[in-house]
Amino acid sequence: FSLIVFFYFSFTVCLFHMAINQFLFQWMDKYESKMLPETDARYQVVKRVVGHLSESNKDIPQVSALTWAIHVVDEPEVNAFVLPNGEVFVFTGLLNAVSDIHQLSFILGHEIAHAVLEHAIEKASLVHFLDFLSLIFLTMIWAICPHDILAVVGQRIQSKLQEFIFDRPYSRTLETEADKVGLQFAAKACVDVRASSVFWQRMELVETMKGEPRLPEWLSTHPSHENRAEHLDRLIPEALKIRERCNCPSLSGPDPRLIFRLNRQHLLESYRAQESQNSTNQDLSKTEVDFSHT
Ligand SMILES: [Zn+2]
């Protein structure tokens, strides 16, 4: 049985690498016309941040083994990801959503952590393994009671159970792990790690202002913005010690989390005042939120 499992996993990893290449081709094709040229200032910023993060963490073999290639896509979505082969994709929506280079460095540290920790392979292996087990389970059901309808219903129930009991909690665990390791990467690059929590608090504030419906965390593939900020707040003291050990320049000025907290109340109040002035038919999704002083 262990030999079957071994071949099964080897086959999964092989399929996975083929899927990455396929995914890369599809993406390059889809966003070809929206890729920023290397001469664009935004491309240069992303390149410098990734270069600085990888240089500061080159003692980690998985970091130095990869060649990081940058792709900046001109799309409003707040998104970034890194493929396991080191291809970094950043959307201009994310560049607009961060308020400084420290927040961007943390987010890219998080994405690099996903690649270094081989989360995509881990996830694909788990999904394939669960599919494999469910196939055995469904075959047994069908052997005992060979009705097609039972097989269809069984398959539906099994896929939903798998999604909510294994897949989504597992995704959230991987996100939390990438936050922790990404913060360490950022600390070694002398980033002001306190900005990491500010980024998620800002995202939470934007969501509150836009009145976007929130999924309960257990239904989501990602931890809630609030929980991410709290988790990072707990990790920041250790990350600050890493900064010190790396002989980074000491952080001057007030804590950005304190500034954000002071601004948050003011922003919410002015937003609500503005909202009550505007007509009830206003489309909230088009409202611009100015964060330039956070
Ligand atoms: Zn992530």
* Ligand 1 centroid from CA 197, angstroms: 15
Domain boundaries in the chain?
2-286
Positions marked active-site: 111
Q: So what's the pLDDT on residue 31?
A: 86
Give the residues of the chain that fall short of pLDDT 70.
Answer: 1-13, 15-17, 122, 124, 126-128, 161-166, 213-219, 279-294
Model confidence pLDDT, tens digit, residues 165-223 = 667 777 888 999 999 999 999 999 999 999 999 999 999 998 888 777 666 666 677 88
* Ligand 1 centroid from CA 292, angstroms: 25
Q: So what's the pLDDT on residue 71?
A: 95
Strands 80-82 and 87-91: antiparallel
Q: So what's the pLDDT on residue 214?
A: 67
* Ligand 1 centroid from CA 107, angstroms: 9
ipTM above 0.95, yes or no: yes
* Ligand 1 centroid from CA 221, angstroms: 10
